[in-house]
Amino acid sequence: MAKAEQQSVEDFKGQARLPRFANPKRYVISLRVDLARCAFSGSSTIAVAVVSSTRFLVLNAADLAVDPASVRFTTPGSSEELQPSEVVAVEEDEILVVGFDTTLPIGDGELRIEFIGTLNDQMRGFYRSKYEYNGEIRNMAVTQFEAVDARRCFPCWDEPAFKATFKITLEVPSELVALSNMPVAEEKVDGVVKTLSFEESPIMSTYLVAIVVGLFDYIEDKLPDGTKVRVYCQVGKSSQGKFALDVAVKSLQLYENYFAVPYPLPKLDMVAIPDFAAGAMENYGLVTYRETALLYDDRLSSASNKQSVAITVAHELAHQWFGNLVTMEWWTHLWLNEGFASWVSYLAVDSLFPEWKIWTQFLEETAAGLMLDALSESHPIEVEINHANEIDAIFDSISYDKGASVIRMLQSYLGAESFQTEDLWAVLEEKSREPVKDLMNSWTKQQGYPVIYANLKKHELELEQAQFLSDGSSGTGMWIIPVTLCCGSYNPQEKFLLKSKYHKLDIKELVSSHDPNNENGERFWIKLNVDQTGFYRVKYDDELAAGIRYAVQANKLSLMDKIGVVEDSYALSVACKQTLSSLLFLLSAYAEEFDYTVLSHISCKIADVVMDATPELANDIKLFLINLLLSAAKKLGWDPKDGENHLDVMLRSDLLVALVRLGHEETINEAVKRFNIFLNDRNTPLLPPDNRKAAYLGVMQTVSTSNKSGFESLLRIYTETDQSQERVRVLGSLASCPDKEIVLEALNFLLTRKVRNQDAIYGLGISRQGRETAWVWLK
């Protein structure tokens, strides 16, 4: 960077980060919100510390009209205001460069800026969301600032390391509710307008600042210390916030104990937003959610909806400590922020609902991370971000799911007692006496993951690692792999670090108590990656694979290992590392399986197998898979039973959906029959919320261009309900029709004003026959 007297605006263009010669300490922000005009205006007085010689202050601003004449800089003890010689908005870099004729004094100062902006419809920055009240469509104002959109509401140093305090004042219509991160300190009403001044926040990053203005109901509970916890939602829906409120209060207390730090703020509000791009956002003290992620209606929501709400609430509240109180310096470490919150959220939900077997279900997260990370186009967990426009790309399954899975792998290997960035790795290494830093660097600084090839030669197990890629090609990655294995039973287990490409392990002691030729007919088996705690796959030789299949059929494996075996086998088949017949032979060992956590994974893999099968094989494969699932489906039936557990309710739903998708005629006929009863009586017990997706899919299997009644009935259900989760169920069914013309009509419906922007993606749940139609439509 040039010396202060030689600096120019050009020096700041095209830079990845803001210059470090001034740091914000405090923002005093006033905003006037005009919902009728979808506009806002405001001023920001920013206390800054100038730490090095400069004539410029460079901060972020985007989509704002800054009044150059309003910009002033003052220093304490001086009555003189410095007026800038130039105020330049560099649109492509989203920065505002404020230049002065003289070098700014080192030390404290204040920068004042006035600006105006528009409440956009892009669900980012300061935007508008629409809702209906008394038959009238209204606007609410909402913020979504992560990762780099606070700059669209007020000029600021919009990077996570630039923490400051925030004192916010809002001028809004007097009949509306206005919320921000902190409680209201003062409220003044002047006719149709009211002004609310909020308490000053603790230091926080700009991406965590939040504002919501609209018409809301709320329900409230309190923590033992009196801290208020509220759920805000559209008028008339407050009862749907009770479950999330209960989860929030219990999760906050659990986290206070786990982190050994009290909840940091004087209140917590959670708000359901009709138009919301993310699932939820952890704004400090004002957490925002899609309606589907926060509200639960015990008449209209399914068991899977309930579980999703619990996990999402627990995830966002974990951020109040890990991410908000302690924040990453730059977006390179996003994975630690999101991965840890995901991992801890499962810890909380497992404590609150142990009957859900949530850690077994966590393997869905691991599977999602493994699937994406097997692509050659994947990226490391830690990604160097060189420009703000690159940040959104890393909010993906690598940061969230792989991040959480790698943390789980480390916690499992070190043990819970040792587990309570590089500084983190150093502390863990000191406590556990394991090479944690090197191990974690091998997982966070390179993309992909390994497959371990396991071959048994008498009492010696030969292991080889290689990078796994779903296209079957070979990668060059090498990892330090925490390997776990058991032989014939789960006790004892072997645990070691595989640091090289090849390793031979003498397992004589492990197998000594397991005679391969024992009189009981039990077969010897070895399972690597015990309970699927490692983020890698395993390819067994034929002898070991036969042993694994026996262990599945004889119910010798844990639920997690039953899932892991299927996940690995499917991935190996996709990568042409084994035959499809090998996968199907393995699946046949699950014919007597009745556990939701296992069968839900199998039904997902089944759907993938059928979608990818050639037309000549598809029918034979469908018949095989129907027979695999039918026993469990018949046992559960269509009708819920008194006292039925949460997982059985979810399993029934998954099995019915899978059988409909596979074209099982009996299930489709029953689906249509129950759907027709439901059309005449929306409260019929014959079609509870958990079974509606299967019924809707079944109806769409019977729809054609010459018989559109089922399709039209579903559209009517969609338009008549205001329940977001029901709308998502309908959208996810509309395009699953074998008739291409109906598929096209369903896809075009997604572009109408009746479908919110964030919901359109649900409508891409197409049939196998409709894939080509959808692909042409998307292009």
75 & 6 share domain: yes
Peptide bond into 147 cis (omega under 30): yes
238 pairs with which residues across the strands? none
Distance CA(337)–CA(354), nearest Å, equals: 25
**Of 214, 231, 246, at which residue does a domain stop?**
214
| Assigned token pair, 442 | 């091998």
Cβ–Cβ < 8 Å for 254, 345: no
- Which of 16, 17, 22, 92 lies closest to 55 in space, CA to CA? 22
| Assigned token pair, 648 | 């059985």
pLDDT of residue 423: 47
Cβ–Cβ < 8 Å for 618, 582: no
Angle (deg, nearest 10), helices 596-612 and 580-587 = 150
Is pLDDT of 577 > 60?
yes
Cβ-based neighbour number of residue 114 at 10 Å? 18
CATH number at residue 545: 2.60.40.1910
Centroid of chain to Cα 247: 18
Is pLDDT of 316 > 70?
yes
Distance CA(93)–CA(387), nearest Å, equals: 8
527 & 437 share domain: no
pLDDT band for position 513 (cuts 50, 70, 90)? low
Q: What is the mean pLDDT of residues 587-609?
A: 88
> Which residue matches tokens 């030390």?
107
Provide the pairing of β-strand 460-467 with 481-487.
Answer: unpaired
**Of 413, 444, 475, at which residue does a domain stop?**
444
pLDDT band for position 521 (cuts 50, 70, 90)? low
438 & 471 share domain: no
More confident: 458 or 538: 538
Enumerate the known binding-site residues for Zn(2+): 315, 319, 338
Rounded percentage of the chain residues whose pLDDT exceeds 90: 71
- pLDDT tens-digit readout, 319-328: 999 888 877 7
Domains: count for the chain: 3
Q: Is 187 a catalytic residue?
A: no
Distance CA(406)–CA(442), nearest Å, equals: 11
- Which of 560, 600, 608 lies closest to 584 in space, CA to CA? 608
Range with the poorest average pLDDT among 8-12, 122-126, 168-172, 724-728: 8-12
Tell whether 353 is covered by a domain: yes
38 & 139 share domain: yes
Residues in contact with 480: Cβ distance below 8 Å, sequence separation at least 6, in sequence order? 435, 438, 439, 442, 443, 497, 498, 499
Is pLDDT of 87 > 80?
yes
Q: Is 297 left (phi over 0), alpha (psi -120 to 50) or beta?
A: beta
503 pairs with which residues across the strands? 463
Q: What is the mean pLDDT of residues 90-115?
A: 94
Tell whether 695 is covered by a domain: no
Q: What is the mean pLDDT of residues 214-242?
A: 97
- Which of 345, 270, 354, 258 lies closest to 308 in space, CA to CA? 345
Range with the poorest average pLDDT among 221-230, 437-446, 580-589: 437-446
- pLDDT tens-digit readout, 336-345: 888 889 999 9
Cβ–Cβ < 8 Å for 636, 650: no
Tell whether 391 is covered by a domain: yes
459-478 as b/e, with b when 16 or more CB fall inside 10 Å?
Answer: eebebbbbbbbbeeeebeeb
pLDDT of residue 698: 96
- pLDDT tens-digit readout, 345-389: 999 999 999 999 999 999 999 999 999 999 999 989 888 877 777
pLDDT band for position 515 (cuts 50, 70, 90)? low
pLDDT band for position 77 (cuts 50, 70, 90)? confident
Q: Is 287 left (phi over 0), alpha (psi -120 to 50) or beta?
A: beta
**Of 561, 582, 603, at which residue does a domain stop?**
582
> Which residue matches tokens 């730490």?
51
Is pLDDT of 402 > 50?
yes
pLDDT band for position 765 (cuts 50, 70, 90)? low
Cβ–Cβ < 8 Å for 331, 394: yes
pLDDT band for position 710 (cuts 50, 70, 90)? very high
359 & 340 share domain: yes
| Assigned token pair, 50 | 């100038």
Tell whether 713 is covered by a domain: no
- pLDDT tens-digit readout, 623-641: 988 999 999 999 999 999 9
Q: What is the mean pLDDT of residues 79-97?
A: 92
- What dihedral do alpha carbons 715, 720, 721, 722 form, nearest 10°? 120
Q: How far is CA 581 from CA 487, 601, 613, in A?
A: 26, 18, 12
| Assigned token pair, 580 | 């499809």
Distance CA(134)–CA(637), nearest Å, equals: 41
438 & 453 share domain: no
CATH number at residue 183: 2.60.40.1730
Distance CA(147)–CA(383), nearest Å, equals: 15
CATH number at residue 373: 1.10.390.10
357 & 466 share domain: no
419 & 385 share domain: yes
Is pLDDT of 426 > 60?
no
Distance CA(36)–CA(175), nearest Å, equals: 14
Tell whether 157 is covered by a domain: yes
The pTM for the full model equals 0.92
Q: Angle at the Cα of 538 (from 535 to 544), degrees rounded to 5? A: 150
410 & 487 share domain: no
- pLDDT tens-digit readout, 715-756: 999 999 989 999 999 999 998 888 889 988 998 998 899 999
Tell whether 263 is covered by a domain: no
Length of the chain, in residues: 779
49 three-class SS: strand
- pLDDT tens-digit readout, 653-702: 999 999 999 999 999 999 999 999 999 999 999 999 999 999 999 999 99
486 pairs with which residues across the strands? 493, 527
Q: How far is CA 146 from CA 15, 94, 377, in A?
A: 20, 15, 24
Tell whether 537 is covered by a domain: yes
Q: Angle at the Cα of 111 (from 109 to 115), degrees rounded to 5? A: 170
47 & 177 share domain: yes
Residue-number span of the structural domain to which 78 is assigned: 1-214
Distance CA(410)–CA(336), nearest Å, equals: 13
Tell whether 59 is covered by a domain: yes
Cβ-based neighbour number of residue 279 at 10 Å? 16
Q: What is the mean pLDDT of residues 189-213?
A: 97
pLDDT of residue 422: 43
User: DSSP string spanning 168-186?
Assistant: EEEEEETTSEEEESS-EEE
- Which of 581, 574, 590, 592 lies closest to 537 in space, CA to CA? 574
- Which of 478, 401, 471, 470 lies closest to 447 in space, CA to CA? 478
Tell me the pLDDT of the chain averaged across its residues.
Answer: 90
Cβ–Cβ < 8 Å for 149, 117: no
405 & 459 share domain: no
| Assigned token pair, 222 | 């309190």
User: DSSP string spanning 203-252?
Assistant: SB-GGG--EEEE--EEEEEE-TT--EEEEEESTT-GGGGHHHHHHHHHHH
Enumerate the known binding-site residues: 315, 319, 338
Q: What is the mean pLDDT of residues 576-590?
A: 93
Q: What is the mean pLDDT of residues 486-491?
A: 91
pLDDT of residue 421: 42
Residue type, 107: G
60 & 156 share domain: yes
pLDDT of residue 604: 82
Q: How far is CA 718 from CA 419, 687, 693, 701, 749, in A?
A: 47, 16, 13, 18, 11
- pLDDT tens-digit readout, 19-71: 999 999 999 999 999 999 999 999 999 999 999 999 999 999 999 999 999 99
Phi, psi dihedrals of residue 413, rounded to the nearest 5°: -70, -40
Cβ–Cβ < 8 Å for 206, 180: no
More confident: 739 or 531: 531
Q: What is the mean pLDDT of residues 521-544?
A: 93
Distance CA(94)–CA(150), nearest Å, equals: 11
Active-site choice (159, 282, 316, 745) = 316
Positions of E strands within 9-71: 22-34, 39-50, 56-60, 64-66
